[in-house]
């Protein structure tokens, strides 16, 4: 609505305890399993949600080869998750060290 120049008041009714910022888009493609869901690890709840889908045989793409991304990747491998790491640095921890 804001992208369409709507400047009125927006009221949201929801049972979640969190504000709706950063929610992944729920499309028909996602709901029928044809589109992947993006998850971010910024909070404990984010990590818990990610942990719930890291099951043996599932796949995960980690974007970023910093400390957090590599910790997520290590945990995923312990759960026997197929893994890909993408980074724009020439080496692991490229910006961190």
CATH number at residue 77: 3.50.50.60
Torsion over CA: 86, 78, 82, 23 (sign): negative
Confidence (pLDDT) at 8: 83
Q: How many domains does the chain have?
A: 1
Mean pLDDT of the chain: 78
Report the pLDDT averaged over residues 21-50. Answer: 66
Quick check: is 13 in a domain?
Answer: no
Residue 36 scores a pLDDT above 80: no
Task: Please give the share of the chain, as a percent, with pLDDT higher than 90.
Answer: 11
Q: Which residue has the higher pLDDT, 77 or 15?
A: 77
Query: Is there a domain that residue 20 lies in?
Result: no
pTM of the prediction?
0.56
Domain that holds residue 87: 25-97
């Amino acid at each position: 609505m804001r992208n369409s120049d709507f400047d009125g008041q927006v009221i949201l009714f929801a049972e979640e305890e969190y504000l709706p910022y950063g929610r992944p888009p729920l499309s028909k493609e996602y709901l029928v399993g044809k589109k992947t869901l993006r998850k971010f690890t910024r909070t404990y709840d984010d990590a818990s949600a990610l942990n719930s889908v890291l099951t043996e045989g599932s796949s995960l793409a980690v974007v970023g080869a910093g400390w957090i991304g590599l910790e997520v990747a290590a945990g995923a491998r312990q759960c026997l998750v197929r893994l890909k790491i993408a980074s724009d640095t020439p080496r692991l921890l490229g910006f961190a060290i």
